[in-house]
Amino acid sequence: MLALPLLLYFVVFVLAPQVVLLVMSVRGQDGVLTAANFMRALSDPMTYGVLFGTLRLGAYATAATVLTGFPYALAMAMAGPRLRSGMLLLVILPLLVSAVVRTFGWLVTLGNQGPVNALLLSLGVIDHPIRILFTEYAVVIGLTQIELPMMVLALYTVLSRVDPSLMLASRSLGAGHWRTFLRVLLPLSVPGLIGGSALVFASAVGAFVSQTILGGGGLLYMPMYIYQQSILSQDWGYAAALAVILMVTVSAIIFAGTVLARRSQGYIHG
């Protein structure tokens, strides 16, 4: 009974829209069920190009959040209570600011007259402003900062449960810092890595605002492609088919990651 409100919320606001989307994708103009929209989408090379580009963007953003978030999460797990509270506050604070606001902040930061180019010019690294904005690099940078709290919190949850005596035992048996990290700490953090990666990947792939603002008109990803087909072209059935293809693809990747995360529980529990 206590779970019933959550179940009703899930059915009404999560499951029902997906069912409507699926029905829309297989309904023809005359109301007859048809697979024409999926056949059109799967036979169009542009669909694969945009889909693979979107998945590549999600993979890049996920890798960047892992590389930047793991050291921070590890430092949080090893810090004292006061320092840990401050570091945790720094992670949570960006979540209180809208992703749209943070995206526009990167729009100013990565511009030709922004602080990044100004710093590089003052250091003599470059002779003239370089183009960062409206490239895939800009989108990855923005998504990394936006999605980083999810990765850090997922990793910290796992790393904070690791027994410090395991690292001490490894060091006492002659293993160095890197060998202890690779043989002990990294395997124990696999559930957090996979869980955080799944969250970041799914969010980055569907980050319509960040992709559109930081990517500009020169980059096309699936959320914008679906928007063009639905709002601009008014081809709702085809747009729904594209959305279903994206949803199924991302769900399959997340499901595979979830299976790996469950199997990796053996690292912690024996």
Q: Which two tokens stand for residue 114?
A: 């922004």
Q: Which residues, including other chains, have CB under 8 Å from residue 162's CB and lie 6 or more apart?
A: 77, 185, 188, 189
Task: Return mean pLDDT, the chain.
Answer: 90
Higher pLDDT, 136 or 186: 136
Instruction: Write down the domain spans for the chain.
Output: 47-158+174-269
Report angle CA 50, 56, 61 to the nearest 5 degrees: 130
Distance CA(89)–CA(87), nearest Å, equals 5
Q: What is the mean pLDDT of residues 245-260?
A: 88
- Range with lowest mean pLDDT among 70-79, 147-156, 168-177: 168-177
- What letter would DSSP give residue 183? I
Q: 40-48: list long-range contacts, CB under 8 Å, 24+ apart.
A: 40/238, 40/241, 41/238, 41/241, 41/242, 41/245, 42/245, 47/242, 47/245
C-alpha dihedral, 145 to 149 to 154 to 156, nearest 10°: 110
The domain 47-158+174-269 is classified under which CATH number: 3.30.70.580, 3.40.50.1110, 1.10.3720.10, 3.40.50.10490? 1.10.3720.10
The Cα 28–Cα 34 span in angstroms is 6
Q: Is 225 exposed, middle or buried (0-12, 13-18, 19+ CB in 10 A)?
A: buried
Higher pLDDT, 131 or 265: 131
Residue by residue, DSSP assigns 198-243 as HHHHHHHHT-HHHHHHHHGGG---HHHHHHIIIIIS--HHHHHHHH
Q: What is the largest CA-CA distance in the chain?
A: 74
Per-residue pLDDT at 125 exceeds 90: no
User: Amino acid letter at 138?
Assistant: A
User: Which one, of 220, 74, 80, lies nearest residue 154 by Cα?
Assistant: 74
**d(Cα 59, Cα 80) in Å, to the nearest integer?**
33
Band of residue 265 on the pLDDT scale cut at 50, 70, 90: low
Band (269; pLDDT cuts 50, 70, 90): very low
- Rounded distance, CA 231 to CA 266, Å? 48
Q: What angle do CA 185, 85, 106 make, to 5 degrees?
A: 85
- Nearest-angstrom CA–CA distance, 59 and 230: 26
Q: pLDDT, tens digit, for every residue of 42-94?
A: 999 999 999 999 999 999 999 999 999 999 999 999 998 999 999 999 999 98
Which residue matches tokens 């605002």? 209
| Percentage of the chain modeled with pLDDT above 70 | 96
For residue 266, pLDDT over 60 is answered with: no
In total, the chain counts a number of residues equal to 270
More confident residue, 218 or 158: 158
- In which residue are the tokens 């969250």 written? 199
**Phi/psi zone of residue 134: left (φ > 0), alpha (ψ -120 to 50 degrees), beta?**
left
